[in-house]
Amino acid sequence: MALDPRFLSILCCPVSKRALKPLSRARLGFLNDAVRASTVHNAAGTAVNTIIADALISVDDKVIYRIDDGVPVLLPEEGIGTTQFTDFPA
């Protein structure tokens, strides 16, 4: 589900305060492959075990936030850092 561009324009990373953008399908596929391999952890250190249907990423490509039922989950502890992936797609 695509977020309304006006809504997206006011969202920001709760930690860095940088803007957010939709996570591309290729990157989402990479992330979900890693979830299936049980190698993904959120900022709180908890393993991410649920496939992610949609997500946002900070414009600096450092943190991913999932979207649940059309609602962005912008809790700092729920963010998924991209530095845990050695080959995260550009």
Q: Tens digits of per-residue pLDDT, 8-49?
A: 899 999 999 999 999 999 999 999 999 999 999 999 999 999
Q: Contact, 63 vs 14, CB < 8 A?
A: no
Residue 63 has pLDDT above 80, yes or no: yes
Task: For residues 26 and 43, give the distance between their C-alpha atoms in angstroms, rounded to a whole number.
Answer: 22
Tokens matching residue 77: 């502890």
DSSP single-letter state for residue 48:
-
What confidence tier does 52 reach under pLDDT thresholds 50, 70, 90? very high
Quick one: what percent of the chain has pLDDT higher than 70?
99
Task: For residues 87 and 2, give the distance between their C-alpha atoms in angstroms, rounded to a whole number.
Answer: 26
pLDDT at residue 1, as a whole number? 59
